[in-house]
Structure 1
Amino acid sequence: MSAFIYPLASTSTAPLSFKGSTLILPVVSVGSAPQLAVDLIINSKDLGLRKVARIDPNYCLPFIGPSERIQASGSQDENDVCTALEVFQNLDALTVVQQRSPVIKSQEAQFVSELLAWIRDSEFKEVLVLSSIDAAARTDAEFETPLLHLTPIGQPSRVNSLSERLSKSFPAFEARPPPSHLVPRSFSSADEKQTIPLIPGGGLTRKILRAASSSGLEADTGAVLLFCGEGDNRGDGHALAKVACTLVGSQPKGEFEEPPSWSSLFGQPIDQSMFG
């Protein structure tokens, strides 16, 4: 196992393996909808995900916080903490990364390179990238759907593959002239010719998919993009979590239960009686 990822000593005596499993990878993007979706997924008792490793946090802005992980006894694990990048896995060959802090700008290229190398060396079967896109960049036609999909160029077509399921479920995200206020300073005319279009508010999504296109990644890879803005994005998190679980075939039996930390993050819902 490379220095990019550190297995937890308490998980198992057997070597950690991801071969043949499906990876859900959230990207820090507008509204943090991917992180909220993964919060719901890893908090689901039906899916049975447990923390198995940490990814080197030095790529990200410093972050640490209390853990919400529950022990086998049913009590909270007071010896555990949350860090910027963590890996969860269950017995159904589902692997989920949670990223709670953005990657440092100067570390982006190195992080994407190490991330793709880990995915390639781990021999994942599928990689579903969760991302959001600024709702202000929506075209008239895209008001008919809150979700779009995007896949790396050059992937071999496979029956019932993730990319095929994405293309059948959601319209493709296509390049368009971006609003001037959403264009990064580093954006040039050459970028318009790239195979992966600019994704307003999409964080590292574009760089990850571009790297996947050129790295010869064997894992079937695709991204689902949710239009949203900044604010109380709990609803976006629920919507994206349901879509992600449907795409990877790991639906929980009941509704997603929100983790306790959300009550501190967004506060309690507004009492509707105050409006009469």
Structure 2
Amino acid sequence: MDGMFVSCDGCACPDFQGFTLLMPAVSVGNVGQLAVDLVISTLGMSKVGYFYTDCLVPMIGNNPYATTEENATELCINAEVYAVPSKELVVLQIRSPFIKNKYRPFCKTLLSWVKSCGFSKIVLLSSSHAYQRNDQQLHGTSLRYLLSPAVEKTIGNVIERLSGRELEQIAAFPGVNGDEKVFHIPGGGITKLLFTESCSKEIPMVVLLKFCSEGDNIPDAHALADYLNEWLQLTANQQSSSSSVKCSRWKIPSSWKLLFGSGLPPALF
């Protein structure tokens, strides 16, 4: 068994028919995962279950979206499912890396779950190494999108008008034969495989991606979440009442306080 959805209250799978599934690729700088954190935290999404899988490194921790002392002690694991039915949105958050050679079985399980739930589309948030861009990718925005054929007709013209550009394909064999073009997504983790599989299985899939480097990737996560929001309008910009200052539309989850470790223990000095 490679994986399955287990609902929180032990009931059958909730009805996700026609919902959008949002998830991160575990990719460079963890940008997709951080952007998904912002969405879950800002929309106050409730956990509806988890994805039971042997394809990810096992992990357990405290509630990353704690808002009170009471809910801070709830536990979280490596792949959990959140929902906000009023926005017809389901989020699969992945918190640990893939086990070597387990990309393929994970994709297979995930896509069969997507089909059985009747999701209207998958949106994958991803990232790719900035230093491996080709010449045409160095200009303008660092945001890119990919659309599987099943969504191209319906939302292609909407996505085209946003701030990103379609991810450029590159020659499969540079200098040999310029005709065959492929996608090259270095650092993109599961992105390329999941996208290719979605294309061949006629699953509606949108990839939103940002070129970035390892380091403080919080600004990248905000930029990717903003790009998603430009399209899906998940949350409005908060205008502060006293002035015209634009506050961030995203609510920072409590777990981010420890993103770079908890600081130096005073006992050192």
TM-score range, shorter chain: 0.7 to 0.9
* CA displacement, residues 43-87 of structure 1 (integer Å, 9 cap, x when unaligned): 11xx2311111001421012111113458xx54425521111111
Following superposition, which runs of at least 4 residues in structure 1 exceed 4 angstroms of deviation?
none
* CA displacement, residues 23-56 of structure 1 (integer Å, 9 cap, x when unaligned): 1111000111001101111111xx2311111001
Query: Which of 217, 229, 232 lines up with 1:245 in the alignment?
Result: 229
* CA RMSD in angstroms, aligned pairs only: 2.8
Distance, in Å, in 2 between the alignment partners of 1:237 and 1:79 is: 26
Structure with higher strand content:
2
| Cα distance change of structure 1 residues 75 and 123 upon mapping to structure 2, 3 Å threshold | same
Aligned to 1:84: 78
The alpha-carbon deviation at position 237 of structure 1 amounts to 1.0
Higher mean C-alpha deviation, range 31-40 or range 13-22: 13-22
Query: Which of 147, 152, 163 lines up with 1:151 in the alignment?
Result: 147
The alpha-carbon deviation at position 239 of structure 1 amounts to 1.1
Aligned residues: 246
The answer for unaligned runs of 5 or more in structure 1 is 181-188, 270-276
> Pairwise mapping of residues 210-225 of structure 1 onto structure 2 (< 5 A)?
210-217=196-203, 220-225=204-209
| Contact 2:59–2:78 under 8 Å retained in 1 | yes
Aligned to 1:258: 252
* CA displacement, residues 231-272 of structure 1 (integer Å, 9 cap, x when unaligned): 011111111112112222312453212122212112699xxx
Distance, in Å, in 2 between the alignment partners of 1:258 and 1:214 is: 37
Higher mean C-alpha deviation, range 103-112 or range 229-238: 103-112
Matched, 1:228 2:212: yes
| Cα distance change of structure 1 residues 249 and 205 upon mapping to structure 2, 3 Å threshold | same
Matched, 1:101 2:96: yes
3-state SS in 1 of match to 2:161: helix
Distance, in Å, in 2 between the alignment partners of 1:123 and 1:76 is: 35
> Pairwise mapping of residues 119-268 of structure 1 onto structure 2 (< 5 A)?
119-142=114-137, 143-152=139-148, 154-155=149-150, 157-159=152-154, 161=155, 163-169=156-162, 170-176=164-170, 193=180, 197-217=183-203, 220-254=204-238, 255-266=249-260
The answer for unaligned runs of 5 or more in structure 2 is 239-248, 264-269
3-state SS in 1 of match to 2:259: helix
Distance, in Å, in 2 between the alignment partners of 1:134 and 1:52 is: 33
3-state SS in 2 of match to 1:105: coil
Distance, in Å, in 1 between the alignment partners of 2:216 and 2:3 is: 36
* CA displacement, residues 80-128 of structure 1 (integer Å, 9 cap, x when unaligned): 2111111110132111111111221222111100011111111111221
Higher relative contact order (CA 8 A, sep 6+): 1
> Pairwise mapping of residues 36-115 of structure 1 onto structure 2 (< 5 A)?
36-44=34-42, 47-70=43-66, 74-78=68-72, 80-91=74-85, 92-115=87-110
Aligned to 1:4: 4
3-state SS in 2 of match to 1:227: strand
| Contact 2:32–2:125 under 8 Å retained in 1 | yes
Which amino acid letter does the alignment assign opposite residue 94 of structure 1?
A: L
Aligned to 1:25: 23
3-state SS in 1 of match to 2:145: strand
The alpha-carbon deviation at position 229 of structure 1 amounts to 0.5
> Percent same amino acid at aligned positions?
31
Distance, in Å, in 2 between the alignment partners of 1:129 and 1:3 is: 19
* CA displacement, residues 146-178 of structure 1 (integer Å, 9 cap, x when unaligned): 1011122x326444x2x4322332221122259
TM-score by length of 2: 0.82
* CA displacement, residues 1-33 of structure 1 (integer Å, 9 cap, x when unaligned): x961101018xx675111111111110001110
3-state SS in 2 of match to 1:136: helix
Which amino acid letter does the alignment assign opposite residue 195 of structure 2?
A: L
3-state SS in 1 of match to 2:90: strand
| Contact 2:151–2:205 under 8 Å retained in 1 | no
Higher mean C-alpha deviation, range 167-176 or range 198-207: 167-176
| Contact 1:57–1:83 under 8 Å retained in 2 | no
